[in-house]
């Protein structure tokens, strides 16, 4: 995730995107990273709560992972929408 975030930030400055586009891209990047940290925190808390296999803990961990996955898909869509005109402009 950090490598992709770094590549998007580099592309954002290389293509001289507008201030609003930069804000939107950075918001998408940091949203995913923050949600990933929250996911990791919840998983570690659940591991402290119980070491035994508990279906409820598995569901909580799966839901947290799904939240991060959904945010990642959203960030990909935002990145494509913002950067594709610049990329296709270079390819023409």
For the full predicted model, state whether its pTM sits above 0.75: yes
Mean pLDDT of all residues in 71-80 = 96
- Whether the pLDDT of residue 52 is over 90: the answer is no
Residue numbers of the domain that contains 39: 2-91
* Nearest one of 18, 23, 21, 27 to 74, comparing CA atoms: 27
What pLDDT is attached to residue 53? 86
CATH classification of the domain holding 27: 1.10.287.3610
CA angle 75, 45, 31 (to 5 degrees): 15
Number of domains in the chain: 1
What pLDDT is attached to residue 83? 95
d(Cα 20, Cα 39) in Å, to the nearest integer? Answer: 28
Q: Crossing angle of helices 2-14/19-49, nearest 10°? A: 170
User: How do residues 28-38 score in pLDDT, each as one tens digit?
Assistant: 999 999 999 99
Q: What percent of the chain has pLDDT over 90?
A: 83
What pLDDT is attached to residue 92? 75
What pLDDT is attached to residue 51? 82
């Amino acid at each position: 995730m950090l490598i992709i975030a770094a590549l998007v930030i580099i592309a954002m400055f290389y293509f001289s995107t507008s201030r609003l586009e930069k804000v939107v891209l950075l918001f998408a990047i940091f949203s995913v990273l923050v949600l990933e940290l929250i996911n990791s925190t919840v998983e570690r808390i659940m591991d402290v709560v119980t070491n035994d296999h508990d279906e409820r803990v598995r569901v909580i961990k799966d839901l947290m992972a799904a939240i991060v996955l959904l945010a990642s898909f959203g960030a990909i869509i935002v990145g494509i929408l913002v950067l594709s005109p610049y990329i296709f402009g270079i390819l023409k």
